[in-house]
Each structure stands twice: as C-alpha cells, then as structure tokens.
Structure 1
C-alpha cells in the first residue's frame, strides 16, 4: 500500500513538473500583462488540467515567437505521461494544408498540373462526362462522395481495418457524383485521399516521403510525418481517448493507414515552424504561400472561402486563416491572424474537446483590443435579447424540409422557447430579432431565420451552419403512414456501389433499417416518416422510388457528404416482421 501511494505521489509530481512551468516570453514591462493573459488561458483549459484526464497542448505565437505554450492533461493515462508542447498528436483534417502544399510544390517542379484530369493518374475512376481535375479535389468541388461516409454506410466501424486499394476500389464503383464537378462545394475526404495516390503515381514516392523531403526536413519539423503505417513506433506520441459510459475514458485510436485527408502526426513546436513559413517562406517561396491562400471558384464564378487545405474567413473583424481536424480521439485547430502576426495552435487527445472554440477564445484574450465586438455565442446562461409571446412563437412551429437532402427540421415550443429537432439532436432557439434565432449549446454556430411570411405563419426557414453555405427549407406537413402502408416498404435492398444490402423490417408497427450482415452496425432508432415515401433516421434520409404501377422498386439515400446512393429492391421472398 505504501509503495502504491508513493508511486501515485510520484506521478502527480511528474505531472506538476511538466505542467506547472508554462513558457511565456516578453519584456519586463509587458511580463505582468502576459501573466494575466496566460492565467486566463489556463482557466479555459482547467477542466482537463488534471493527472487523470486527456487534454491539449496549446501554443500562442506573436511576431515570430511563442508568447505562451503549455500542456494540459495527460498524453497517456496508462503510463502517466503529461502533455507538453513537444507531444506528438494526430491532427486529422488539419493535415490537408500539407497535402495541398506538397501538390503545389510538385506542380512548381513540373511533375503535375493542377488542371490535370485525375484519370491521367487514376484510370480506375469512372468517366463522369465532365473531367475532374486536381484543382477540384483541392477545393472540394469534385462532387466525389466522401469515402469515410461510404465506409460507414457499408457497416465499417472506426476501428475496422481496410486498405488504400479497398478505398480506391470503392470510389471507382460510384456511378454518380454528388454534383457536376465545379458546380458546388461539399467537403469530401475522398479528394485529399486521392491526392495522396496521385502524388505517388506522378512521382513514384509516397506522400510521406515527399512531404518529409520537400517540407518537413527543410523546415526542421523533425517530429512530423504522414502516418501511413499504423505499426510504426512514434516517439512521444499522445494516445487518443473518448469518454466511457459511466465515467472515465476509453482508448480511441485507428489502424487505418490512409493519408492525405488526414494522418499527419505533429506537435505544437513543429507547427510553429510551419506557421513562420507563411511570413518568411523558406519552403516554396512566396509563390507557394500565394497559391495556398488562393480560394477556389465555382463554375458560376462564385468565390469560395476554401483555399488549398485552408479556410479563409474573418473573426470579429480580423482576417483569419484556419483549419480544424477531428478523427477518432484526436481534435486539432490552427488559426492565424496574418495582419496581427498572431496564431493559436491547439492539439487535443479527447474526442469531446472543441479546439476550434478554445483557439478562438484564446485569441479573444490576446487580441481583445483589436477585435470588433460581436454578438456572443448562445450559451446556457444567456438571456434572449427579444421577448416573444406564445402566439408569436406558435406561428413559427411546424416541419421544414430541405429539398436537397431530405432532412426535416421540426420546430416546437417548450417553456417559452422555440425548440428545433433535427434527427436525434435538439436545440433551443434564442431570438435575436422577431424572426431570427441562434441555436443554444450547439456544437457549432447555427443561425436560423423565418422567411416568406404571408400572414402570421412563415413558409420558409433559412438555416446557416458555421462553415457551410446557407440552405432554405420549405414548410411541409408530415405524413403518418398506417401499418398496412408501412408493410409495403419491407424488403431487402442492395447497393451495387457499396456491395452491401440493407433489410427494411417491420417491428411493433415501425420500420427499421438493418444491415444484412447482423454483425455490422445499423441505426438503432426506427425510420421516421416525413413526406410521402421519405423517411429519416440517424442523419440518413431515404427516398423510396416506385414504378409506373406504384410498386416500390428502390430507395436513394442521402447521408451528409454522400447523395443519391441507390439501393435496388431484391425480389420479395416473404414479408419480414421482427418480433
């Protein structure tokens, strides 16, 4: 017992030694102000600043140097290793800017062109009538369906293993795109995964090898690499975690070796070197930086806010360049305010942490005197700025349908507030004006406004989710099919593109969607009828199709980054009813 207590005390001492000496730099006259700011940053990360919790590494950069950097929480709970600014994290989609940079550097060297048809390097991909270019992949305007979503629909779990070849084969089977190349923007991991394959076929070297040769070694990023071998030992790496039901944490890692769309391992210290290359470009010269910051454009001439693996935007009146990342138990964000020469890096190893929000809150602390006041994000304790009567609120209740995806927002009232229900998620809507509302406690910033108000009841709902283009939903009346009507949907449906079948079964008067392989995961909740022949469950939207005689022959599925995926009904053997 005494030995166990001694070890426990030793682990806490190690934690305090690693975490208790934050690094901040400044002249004597501004040191006191920096200490106040640093203490406020510590408050933000206090919930994870414990020897029994995963957490984050944070770096704050101003004028070419760190003004604050620190670790909070543990890199490894099993071996009691604290997080520090040198801890190596998987950074998810924050990796995309390095993939884009590698492609641009190859274009500078004449190894490829950004306007090459991808089939020049990937002849396995279908000819969709309009060429898909490397530039389309970079700007998420290709229309290619997202492979992670497709694998999920195929029943694969995050901890299942599959190879690059299997992903390429899956993408090559897709008969349709989400949209014509260049017509729209829809974030798709497939594009950046395919870029990694194009790099290899154009040069004979892997993305890992080329990024190291062209970027990481020249910049001295000695602890950064594309992790294309899950068996590789990585010194000083953090483990990924997720909350465990009932309390505590569980390991959340992956064996997947795909890179390009993600897969970069790096540290706060190394990302500082990348950040500085935007001001003093040792790699690629000013031409690389200018290219990376060039936004994409659509066929209609509209300019996107997405450049080369980077989002271009504004935060509280200041120009901001950023990109977040999330995969298994890791979360990341890197934001840069170029005019202020100020950046925040936040790398975390717990799936429930929101580094994008935290990084902006850190920026709020250090750049407060330069930022434009902005309406606060709606939180649990915030009060409405406008008071609406029950009658006014009731006029806005009802169901609103997204014609692009089939999603339905159901608006109701409770305790003097509007409530929005979207699938399994529920948000309280706080009024900003008579017809405009903000979602409270949503994971991202969401604003909704009611439009086309003929009389008291609006017929349209405009929804703007942070990072996406606004969509307009139409008011509809939801249907309630009888049990006999529901029975007509029962059957087995097969997707040639996924090579997977789903059973639609009837249980206790409700329809359920079941993977034909009972060992694969399926939605737990029943299918919810919305419009005629439309159902929704767990973010999936199914539209059943009928022939000229009214018989159901197929359904198409929309699932966020996958649209119009077709499942054809197999000949009916018997009606399936679960008991």
Structure 2
C-alpha cells in the first residue's frame, strides 16, 4: 500500500457522516502505527457531539477476547487449569453426564445453552437489570445440554459469562478490577473498562441508537452482567491492545501466551475449530485473519487483524443496524488491493457479480429446509422478484452469483443449492462469515386437517425455565403464546414440526398418539422440553 485511499474510505461512511446521524469511529493500523483514524457522524444527537477516535463505545462480544485473556493469565500463574471441571469453581452448576472444562467454555464447545436466548424464552427483558446470581441460576437450572461437551461448536454467551465468574472467584477481584490490573492499566488503555455498573458515568461515551420509520431512537441497556460482553473502549485504546499481540507485555511477557490465545481449539474427534480464546481465526482472501465482532443494544463493533501483513482495522458504531464487519473487510480490500494470494471474488467482496435469475428458477427453490443435524429450519421466500433467506427470526435478501449460488453480502452469508442426485430435492448449504457449512434438506409441502391441529392445543410447562406456554387454535391456525402475552403464528414444516418467528417446535406423543409435549429449538438453545399439562375438568353445572 503506497498511499491511503482516503476518498474511497470516506465514501464507505458517507451515509452516516452528517450532523443528524449516529456513525462510526475508525482506526486503520499498519506496521505498528495508526495510519488513518477518523470519526463519522455523531456520538450524541441530543448534544450535537461528533464521534472521534476517543469516543467510548460498548463493543459487545468483541469483549470476549479480554475475558479469555484473563483466564489465560490465571492459568499461566497456576491458579487454575484449563482442564478444570467448571464445577470446581462454580459448584452450583448442574452436574451432567460428561465433564465440562474451562477449555470447553473458551472454545464454545461446552454444549451449555445460551443464557440470552433462555432469557428471551422465559420472558426476561434485556432492558431490565438482573443480578449475576439470577442469570447464573438460570444457566444452572438447565438439566440438559445442546450436545455432548467437545462434540460440536455452537457459540454460547453462557460460556463466557461463566468464564467471567470463574475469574472473579479465583482471583478474588471483580472482573473489572482484574482486567484493569492485568490488561488495561499495563497497556495504557485509560478509556477502557468492564462496564459492570450501568449507573457509572463514562466520559466521552457515545450514545447507542436504533433507527426506524420515525427516525433514530436511543437504544441503551441497563443490563450490566459482564463476561460475554460489557467492555467499553475506544478505537485508540484497542490499537494498544492490537499491538500487544506482536510484542506482549502482559502475563509475564513473551509470545507464549499470545500463541496460546490465538490457537484454535479442537473437537473431541480432533477436527480443528475456527475459534481460539475469544477470537475467530480464519482467512480473508487467502490471508490469515484474527477477528471478532460485537453487537449489543445500539452498538456494533469489529476488530480484525491480518498478522502476516501487520494490518488491522478497528471499526466501532453507535447505530444498531450497521455492519462494521462488512465495512472493515471493504477497507482491507481498498488498502491491500493487489496483495492477496487468492484472486477470486468472495461473497463478502465488494466486487461480487450479480447474476439475473428467472422467477421460475427462484420459485423452484422456495420452501422450508430442515437441518437434520440440529433441527434448525430455514425458509426461502420469493418477494418482489427477489429471493430472501429466513433463518433464526431474521430475513436476509439474497444476491445471485450464479444459478445456484447466492450471497447476503451485508451479513456475510453464503448460500448454495445442491442436489445429491439429479431430480432429487435441493439441499441448502449455508455458511456464515466463512465458517463451517450447515446443510438443510428441502421439505415437501404438507397439509394437516383441523382435527389434528386441535390435538396440539393446550398448556405446556418447562421446569428448566419455570414457564408455561400456551398453544391455541385460532381461525384454523396454531398460535404459540409465550410469557408477556407474546404471540407467534406456528406454521407446519413437516409432520409434528412447526416453526414460529425464530423458534421451532417438535411435538412428541405417547403410544396412543396423544401429544405429551414438545421440544423447542431456538438458535443457541436446543431440545428444551415442555410437558403438556393435564386439561382441567369442566366446572360442574350447579
């Protein structure tokens, strides 16, 4: 890179770089120096304060690398082992058939259900304040895991919340104090902390916003449980953290600790993962990339590093519908053009070509697809001449690369339609952020009569959530009613399998064909059982 393409970089942010919009803080790093830094848009619309590279943002899950580093420091000091059973440090956790270790938590292979999803299913609002003990209690009540520890990878915020709790219990300090003493203060990160007290005043903090039909709204959370997230920081402070990966000053110094936290884990069968210690270790256009994004309330973040090029992008936003990961990769494309081993266009590339697909060809792919491995449901819709992927409660418009290859560029989804044999139904192969593929099998359309639908209606109780759900039949359609009178229309996917907005219900029955309960699948929560409660007898007439 001979010169910095300033105008092209600025153009990426033109939508937000105005006095009536939230925006971004950006730092670009090369060879140990910040070669470009700039704020775009406003840190506070109320007080007319622009964003700068010293504005403070909540970086969401980008925080995970700091928690993992704290654990690595404690391990290097002999105060814990990564192979410790987590019950040694958190004895109130349920005892499962297989041991869960600290290492399992670090690499997201523990099988522990995601607490944020559990809260949503319980009706607990993320806008409220909850003590750490209540959240850990919710996790501890889970009788089952998503899978056997070490068998699969499934991102779980619970694991990192528990890691934060382990740091507190082993060190005798709060996570905020331990990280300050062992990371932030030694590196001179003066504007960085774990935000474990929502009432704490933070100088230069950017307000988080969301946008809708009526303009921008403040989108801040008083939820101050930390571990899986919670770091407040600036782009300039993150530069100091970024440089420590090349010349480590922490945990006694030396690169052994850095090597450990950037080495991906493995499954029980030896298969390598793309996840190390709170860091994804992948590649971008043939070059090794270490990265992690974050999303919380009205904040979004991305920090990526190409260590072989000594090049990093730190991109923080205070607007909830932005995509810093996409923008950071576009900046890599602009700054390192011509410096890639891999010359072919990728789904995340800004140069992906679009191919025109006929309406019949799109409609041929529409319908429900089921992941036989985890029970997840995806749907392909055609609306206004465009294909849309519906998955986990979110819709992603798809651009066509070829007849059977599509991308959701802004969200780094890569979708391919394949057939195991000619004339066989399509399989949908989905990759997110260049990760491992998930395979979904196309379902034939099915119908069900009214009498069979009536049999699903009733009340269902989950003791792991201490929650009752209702299934009702209204106007010939099943409806799920969750806590807080949240209603979801249930649509039939295949026999006994229904999908709502973001959950799936798989009903089970006894030998007489009576429905006895259902298992819920909801993204990072699998096989959560609700038992059908006995019908109350009719009140006798007087």
SS at match of 1:450: strand
Aligned-residue offset at 1:350: 0.4
Distance 2:350 2:334 in 1: 21
Residues 357-366 or 298-307, more deviating: 357-366
Q: 1:417 to 1:74 in 2, by over 3 A?
A: closer
SS at match of 1:201: helix
Distance 1:240 1:45 in 2: 17
| Runs (5+) with no aligned partner, structure 1 | 1-25
Give the aligned length.
535
Deviation by residue 1:124-153 (Cα, 9 ceiling, x = unmatched): 011112111110000000000000000011
Pairing partner for 2:345 from 353, 375, 387: 375
Give the match for residue 484 of structure 1.
451
Distance 1:230 1:195 in 2: 21
Q: 1:73 to 1:411 in 2, by over 3 A?
A: closer
Pairing partner for 2:460 from 488, 493, 515: 493
Give the match for residue 88 of structure 1.
56
Aligned-residue offset at 1:484: 2.1
Decide whether the 8 Å contact of 2:208 with 2:299 is kept in 1: yes
Residue 100 (str. 1) matches residue 63 (str. 2): no
Give the match for residue 8 of structure 1.
none
SS at match of 2:494: coil
Greater Rg by CA: 1
Q: 1:379 to 1:243 in 2, by over 3 A?
A: farther
Residue 169 (str. 1) matches residue 137 (str. 2): yes
Residues 468-477 or 291-300, more deviating: 468-477
- Which residues of 2 match residues 369-408 of structure 1 at below 5 A? 369-371=338-340, 372-375=342-345, 377=347, 384-385=354-355, 396-408=365-377
Distance 2:78 2:15 in 1: 50
Q: 1:249 to 1:449 in 2, by over 3 A?
A: same
Q: 1:464 to 1:111 in 2, by over 3 A?
A: same
Deviation by residue 1:429-478 (Cα, 9 ceiling, x = unmatched): 555455x3113456232222312123x34353322232542122223223
Q: 1:281 to 1:305 in 2, by over 3 A?
A: same
Aligned-residue offset at 1:347: 0.7
| TM-score (ref. length: structure 2) | 0.93
Decide whether the 8 Å contact of 1:427 with 1:439 is kept in 2: no
Distance 2:476 2:215 in 1: 38
Aligned-residue offset at 1:397: 5.0
Q: 1:144 to 1:364 in 2, by over 3 A?
A: same
Decide whether the 8 Å contact of 1:556 with 1:567 is kept in 2: yes
Distance 2:395 2:447 in 1: 21
Give the match for residue 255 of structure 2.
286
Distance 1:538 1:321 in 2: 33
SS at match of 2:15: helix
Residue 450 (str. 1) matches residue 418 (str. 2): yes
Distance 1:351 1:415 in 2: 26
Deviation by residue 1:276-327 (Cα, 9 ceiling, x = unmatched): 1111111132121111111100000001010001111111121111000001
Aligned-residue offset at 1:54: 0.7
Pairing partner for 1:561 from 524, 537, 540: 524
Distance 2:393 2:145 in 1: 28
Decide whether the 8 Å contact of 1:503 with 1:516 is kept in 2: no
Deviation by residue 1:5-40 (Cα, 9 ceiling, x = unmatched): xxxxxxxxxxxxxxxxxxxxx9xxx6xx33xx1221
Decide whether the 8 Å contact of 2:298 with 2:318 is kept in 1: yes
Pairing partner for 1:314 from 261, 283, 300: 283
Aligned-residue offset at 1:207: 1.1
Aligned-residue offset at 1:515: 2.1
Distance 2:203 2:270 in 1: 47
Residue 473 (str. 1) matches residue 440 (str. 2): yes
Distance 1:257 1:477 in 2: 46
Residue 261 (str. 1) matches residue 228 (str. 2): yes
| Runs (5+) with no aligned partner, structure 2 | none
Residue 531 (str. 1) matches residue 501 (str. 2): no
| TM-score (ref. length: structure 1) | 0.87
Residues 363-372 or 404-413, more deviating: 404-413
Distance 1:379 1:222 in 2: 36
Pairing partner for 1:304 from 247, 262, 273: 273
Decide whether the 8 Å contact of 2:189 with 2:237 is kept in 1: yes
Give the match for residue 180 of structure 1.
148
Aligned Cα root-mean-square deviation (Å)? 2.4
SS at match of 1:368: coil
Distance 1:159 1:459 in 2: 41
Q: 1:574 to 1:534 in 2, by over 3 A?
A: farther
Give the match for residue 541 of structure 1.
504
SS at match of 1:95: helix
Distance 2:281 2:239 in 1: 19
- Which residues of 2 match residues 194-233 of structure 1 at below 5 A? 194-233=162-201
Aligned-residue offset at 1:381: 11
Decide whether the 8 Å contact of 2:264 with 2:277 is kept in 1: yes
Q: 1:52 to 1:300 in 2, by over 3 A?
A: same
Residues 464-473 or 443-452, more deviating: 464-473
Distance 1:399 1:276 in 2: 46
Decide whether the 8 Å contact of 1:395 with 1:457 is kept in 2: no
Decide whether the 8 Å contact of 2:306 with 2:312 is kept in 1: yes
Distance 1:131 1:433 in 2: 46
Residue 157 (str. 1) matches residue 125 (str. 2): yes
Residue 439 (str. 1) matches residue 402 (str. 2): no
